[in-house]
Structure 1
Amino acid sequence: MRRILLKPRRDWLAKAEAVGFTWHHADGARYWDERACYAFTLAQVEDHIEAAAQELHQMCLALVGEVAGSEALMARLAIPEGARDLVAASWTAKEPSLYGRFDFGYDGAAPPKLYEYNADTPTSIYEAAVFQWLWLEDRIADGTFAADTDQFNSLYEKLVARFRGIFPAGGFVHFASDADHAEDRQTVRFLEDVAAQAGLEPKFVAVKDIGLDADGRFVDAEDYLIGAIFKLYPWEEIFRDDYAGEIAGSKARFIEPAWKAVLSNKGLLPLLWERHAGHPNLLEAYFDDDPKAAGLGRSYVRKPLFSREGANVELYDNGRRGRVLDQGYGAEGWVRQALSPPPRFGANYPVVGAWMIGDEPAGMGVREDRGRITRDRSRFVPHVILG
C-alpha cells in the first residue's frame, strides 16, 4: 500500500460538473482530491480487504439473526420497543439489502481492522463507483498508468444487477432523501439512474413530503402510492418519527430493510467482539457501561451508538482527549473501542471503505484526513491496483 503524489488533470473540475458530481468541494475545500492516489497490490485487495469484508458480512448476518430474536439485545441497541417487531419481521421475511460499506483501518500489512459498518445510509457510492473509475480511464489514456492498471471496482455493474434481483418484475420505486442536502440528493440521483438502467421506474420524493393516506399507506407529495422506497434516511430516526407506528401497516417495501438498524448501530462492535473475541479483523470493544471497558486503559475511542461522519467520536490517547465534533449525539448510549489509528502517510490518515452489494464485496474507496477521525469533510482519494 502506497500513497503516490500526482498532478491533477487540468480539466477535472469541468469533467466532474459534466457528469453531475457537484459536491467535489465542501465549504471551499477539496472533497475529491486527485493530487494523490493510493496503490494496492492485488493480494492486498483480494486476500485482505475483500476477504475481510466477506467474512465480516457473514458474521454480521448471523448476529442480526440473534438480535432479531432477543428483546434484551434490541434494548441494548436502543431500538425502541415499538419498532422491535418490525425489525424482527423484516429479518424473518428475508427482506433484501442493496448495499453497505465497511470502514477499515489498513496499512497494507496487518489484517484490516473494522472501525464501523455503514450498513443503512452510506454515502460516497457515486465517487467510488463512477468518478474514480473515470479518473483511472483518463490516467491510463494520458500515460500516467499502464493500460492494464485496475481498481477494486465492480460497483456499478453489481448495483444494476442487485436492483434487478430485488425487483425482478421491474416496476415503480420511490427514492427519498433530504432534497436540500447536496451530497445526499446527488447520491440518491445516482441510485435512481442505476435503478433506471435495471429497468425500474424511479421517482424522487423529499423525506419531508412523505404523507399517509386514509388507508394507512404512504404517499408522495402528488399522492402517488409508495409501494417500494429507497430511503437515504436512517432507521434510528425513522423509528422516532411521528409515522413510526404506521410502517408495519403501510405495506411499503423499504431499501434498506429495517433489520439493517442492527448493523448500522455502533453497538454492533461490542456484540461482534463478544462473539468473536480475538478475530483478526475486529478491535476489542465494549459497551461504555460494561466494567470490562476499563480494561482498554487510557487509550481508546468512545463512540455514540448513533452518529454520522465522526460526530461526537472521542479519541483518548494515553488519557488525553482529542478534538470532538459535537453534533449532539450520544443520548442513547456509547461504546468503547480499542485505539488503533489509521496508518499515517505524510500528514494524512486514510480509511479504506469496502463496499458490499447484496452479499458480495464489490469495490472500495479511500478517504483521508489530517486528523485520525474521518469526518464529513474528509477527502476522497482514488485508488489503483499495481502489482
Structure 2
Amino acid sequence: MERLIIEPRADWQHKCEAVGFHFYELSGQPYWNEGACYRFSAEEVDELETVTELLQEMCLAAVECVIQENRFSQLCIPPEFAQLCRRSWERRDSSLYGRFDLVYDGKHPPKLLEYNADTPTALLEASVVQWTWLEEVFPKADQFNSIHEKLLAVFQDMDWLRGQTLYFSCAAESKEDSATVEYLRDVAIQAGLQTKHILIEDIGWNHTQEIFCDLDEEIIRHLFKLYPWEWLISDPFGQYLLAEPMMLLEPAWKLILSNKAILPILWEIFPQHPNLLPSYYDALKLSHPYLSKPVFSREGANITIYYEQKYYQTSGIYGDEPLIYQSYLPLPEFDGYYPVIGSWVIGNQAAGIGIREDRTPITQDTSFFVPHYFQ
C-alpha cells in the first residue's frame, strides 16, 4: 500500500458531474482529490476482502447476542424499540448495505474503528466515480470495487418489493445525501423496481388510516431512508413506527449495529481478536492512549483522544451523548495524510473500498476522498 501523487484528469469536474457526482466540493472546500491515489497489491486487497466478510459475520453474531441476552439498554435503545428490533431480526428483514471503517497500512492486520451500518455515505464516489477514474487513468489496472453490481443484485433479490413502490428519502439540506439516495434509486430502477422520491420532511401520517403517506396521500409501505434510526425514534412521528405500518431499509435490527456501543460487545464476544480494538463502557479498563466516542455520532464529531498528560478533541453536536471507550491506534501516515479504509458490505458480501484521508488523525466531514487501484 502506497500513496502516489498523480496529475488530475483534464476537465475532471465535468467528468464527475457526468456520472451524477456534483459534491466534489463541500462547504467550499475540496472533497474529491484525484491529485493523489493509493496503490495496493492483490494480496492486500484479498486481505481486506477476507477481513470485511469476517467482520460482517462477527457483527451478526453480536446482534444475536444482544437480542438473546436482552442487552438493549447498553446500546441506549428504548424498550419499545428493542421489541421492534427483535421482531425485525427474527423475520430476517433484508439489509442493503454497510461500511466498515478500518485502520490499515498494508503491513499489519486491518483493525475495525467502527461500523456505519445504517446510513453510510461516500457510496457514489466509491462505486461509480472512482471506477470511471480508473478506466481513464489506469485502464490496465484493477480496483477493489464491485459495489454497483452487488447493489443491483441485492435489489433484484428483494422479491417482496415486486409490484410495490419503494420510496427513497433523505433530509432536504444535504447535497451529499441527496446524491447518494438518487444513485441508489437509479440502481433500484435498473433492478426493475418501482420507485418514488420523497423528502423526510414531506412524509406524513394519516391518523384515520394509521399509515404513512406522501404529499399526494399515497400510502408509503416501503421506504429506503438515508436518515438515522436514532433520529427516527426520537422524532414525534417515531412512535408510529412501532406498529410497523411500513417496511424500512435499513431494517430496525440495524439500530443494534449503527451505534458505537456495539464495539465493547464485539470485544467481549471476540476478545483479543486481531481485527478488533479493545473497547469498553468503562475508561478505567484501558491504558493510555485511548479515545472516547459518543454512542450516536457521525463524521468524527466529539471524539477525544486521551494521552498521559494531554488530550485532542474534535468539535460537534454530540456532547451530551453516552460514551464508549476504545484503545487508540494511530492511523498510518502517508505524505502527511492519514487514510481510513471504508470497506463496503452489500447484503453480506464484501464489495469494495473507498478511502478518505485527513491532515489530522481523526477523519471528519472535511476529509478528502481519494481513489485507489491495485495490480
TM surpasses 0.5:
yes
Which residue in 2 is equivalent to 1:65?
A: 64
Give the superposition deviation at 1:240. 1.1
Matched length: 373
Whether 2:120 is the aligned partner of 1:130: answer no
Which residue in 1 is equivalent to 2:79?
A: 81
Task: Give the unaligned 5+ runs of structure 1.
Answer: 142-146
Which residue in 2 is equivalent to 1:144?
A: none
Alpha-carbon separation, structure 1, partners of 2:331 and 2:201: 37
Query: Secondary structure at 1:212's aligned position in 2?
Result: strand
Alpha-carbon separation, structure 2, partners of 1:236 and 1:364: 26
User: 1:40 is matched by which residue type in structure 2?
Assistant: F
Alpha-carbon separation, structure 2, partners of 1:97 and 1:174: 16
Could you tell me the TM-score, scaled by structure 2's length?
Answer: 0.97
- Identify which of 276, 283, 286 aligns with 2:280: 286
Whether 2:268 is the aligned partner of 1:274: answer yes
Which residue in 2 is equivalent to 1:209?
A: 202
Give the superposition deviation at 1:250. 4.0
Give the superposition deviation at 1:37. 0.4
Which residue in 2 is equivalent to 1:34?
A: 34
Which residue in 1 is equivalent to 2:190?
A: 197
Which residue in 1 is equivalent to 2:144?
A: 152
Which residue in 1 is equivalent to 2:221?
A: 227
- Structure 1 stretches of 4+ with a deviation exceeding 3 A read none
- Identify which of 94, 106, 109 aligns with 1:108: 106
Q: Alpha carbons of 1:321 and 1:166: their partners in 2 closer, same or farther (altered >3 Å)?
A: same
Which residue in 1 is equivalent to 2:349?
A: 360
Query: Secondary structure at 2:353's aligned position in 1?
Result: strand
- Identify which of 156, 164, 183 aligns with 2:156: 164
Alpha-carbon separation, structure 1, partners of 2:249 and 2:325: 30
Give the superposition deviation at 1:298. 2.8
Which residue in 2 is equivalent to 1:339?
A: 328
Alpha-carbon separation, structure 2, partners of 1:245 and 1:70: 25
Could you tell me the TM-score, scaled by structure 1's length?
Answer: 0.94
Whether 2:47 is the aligned partner of 1:55: answer no
- Identify which of 313, 322, 328 aligns with 2:303: 313
Alpha-carbon separation, structure 1, partners of 2:51 and 2:4: 25
- Identify which of 247, 253, 271 aligns with 2:241: 247
Alpha-carbon separation, structure 2, partners of 1:385 and 1:298: 36
Contact 2:167 2:222 in 1 (8 A): yes
Give the superposition deviation at 1:170. 5.0
Alpha-carbon separation, structure 1, partners of 2:90 and 2:320: 30
Alpha-carbon separation, structure 1, partners of 2:247 and 2:335: 46
Contact 2:302 2:313 in 1 (8 A): no
Question: C-alpha offsets along residues 18-67 of structure 1, whole Å, 9 cap, x if unaligned?
Answer: 22211100122210000110011111111x21111111111110111121
User: 1:179 is matched by which residue type in structure 2?
Assistant: A
Contact 1:172 1:203 in 2 (8 A): yes
Which residue in 2 is equivalent to 1:372?
A: 361
User: 2:367 is matched by which residue type in structure 1?
Assistant: S
Question: Kindly, what percent of the aligned residue pairs are identical?
Answer: 45
Q: Which moved more, 1:330-339 or 1:228-237?
A: 330-339
Which residue in 2 is equivalent to 1:324?
A: 314
Contact 1:69 1:88 in 2 (8 A): no
User: 2:133 is matched by which residue type in structure 1?
Assistant: W
Alpha-carbon separation, structure 1, partners of 2:135 and 2:147: 16
Give the superposition deviation at 1:251. 2.6
Give the superposition deviation at 1:172. 1.2
User: 2:52 is matched by which residue type in structure 1?
Assistant: A
Q: Which moved more, 1:160-169 or 1:54-63?
A: 160-169
Which residue in 2 is equivalent to 1:14?
A: 14
Which residue in 1 is equivalent to 2:180?
A: 187
Contact 1:305 1:330 in 2 (8 A): no
Give the superposition deviation at 1:90. 0.4
- Identify which of 164, 168, 177 aligns with 2:170: 177
Give the superposition deviation at 1:166. 1.9
